[in-house]
Amino acid sequence: MTLTIDGLCKRHPGSAHAVGPIDLALPSAGYVCVMGPSGCGKTTLLRLVAGLERADAGSVTLRGTRIDGLPPEARPTRLLFQSGALFPHLDVAANIGFALRLAGRSADAIDRRVRALATMVELPEALLSRTPEGLSGGERQRVALARALADDPPVLLLDEPLSAIDRPQRASLRERLRVLQREAERLFVHVTHDPDEALALADLLVVMDEGRVCAQGPAEALYQHPPDRATARLLGELTAVPGDPRRALRPEHLRAVAADGARARASVVSRQRTGECVELTLRSRDDGPAVRLRALQSHANLGDEIGLCWDDDDVMDFPP
């Protein structure tokens, strides 16, 4: 393990909100997402690791050496902020090479590294002479990412880096982050409130709520088999099992089928498109709770009665 967090706590005077105690052992390389609702303490955790806030108790150890007593600039971590936090008076090349100049690298070495980093984050060379105000949101985050990677840190901390970017650029940058982590073979710790983002990126998913870690494990396993209802709801929507409201399914695990293969039947009472998917709200004849089905395509219309099927392996033994 590379990064070990042991009993880390932070209390905010005059506030009921607190973080910890938190215990985590993170791998030497991999993509870790820390996900949870706003105010759950995930950004505070990241700032404690980066040294931007001081913990009240606990320790942070990197490769067997405690780093929690070091100032932020001396820690072998780099933090990519939500806003990018670029220097507005410097052009893109100077922003990317800022830490390298502080380290005393030669001008030629800095230029080579800056151009290599721009290629790495898919930033066109023509943008290197622009100032941040002339860039789109996605371009600014690519510059910030290149700057954070400039001195090849063993741990990159990312605080909601995609939240202020429009959807097409967000998808592109998300893919680039995943590729970069694999190429760099470093530890990326990415904080987000978006379960879709966390599930798409994470090798290891850490779920937080009310200042504590409530679940951790492989992202796909946590989504499919969450340990409790709270974690299940944080990671995605739930619907009741038709005819059994004490148990739950993900809406995409409920399928419309022909009558002879149906385990239940229900009528369509609502139909709406949500992005790529069609979502149906269905009610059975026995007046049980409405259930929701989500699919890429559906030809069912309001009032239609359809057959429903699901796999028992997808059922969660707690109410939605």
Residue 238: Cβ within 10 Å count:
19
Amino acid letter for position 100: L
Q: Which domains does the chain have, with CATH numbers?
A: 3-231 (3.40.50.300), 239-314 (2.40.50.140)
pLDDT recorded at residue 48? 94
Q: Are 117 and 127 in contact (CB under 8 A)?
A: no
**Chain centroid offset of residue 163 CA:** 10
DSSP alpha helix (H) spans, the chain: 42-50, 92-96, 98-102, 107-120, 137-149, 167-184, 195-201, 219-224, 229-235
pLDDT recorded at residue 190? 95
Separation of first and last alpha carbons in the chain: 36
The burial class, CB within 10 Å (0-12 / 13-18 / 19+), for 17 is: middle
Radius of gyration, alpha carbons of the chain: 23
Which residues make beta-bridge pairs with 191?
34, 159
Q: Are 81 and 141 in contact (CB under 8 A)?
A: no
Return d(Cα 118, Cα 149) in angstroms, integer: 11
Structure tokens at 91: 């052009």
Structure tokens at 133: 């105000």
User: Quick one: which of 4, 191, 181 has its CA closest to 79?
Assistant: 191
| Ranges of the chain whose pLDDT falls below 50 | none
pLDDT recorded at residue 3? 93
Q: Is the pTM of this model over 0.85?
A: yes
User: Quick one: which of 293, 254, 294 has its CA closest to 275?
Assistant: 294
C-alpha count within 13 angstroms, C-beta hemisphere, residue 107: 0
pLDDT recorded at residue 138? 83
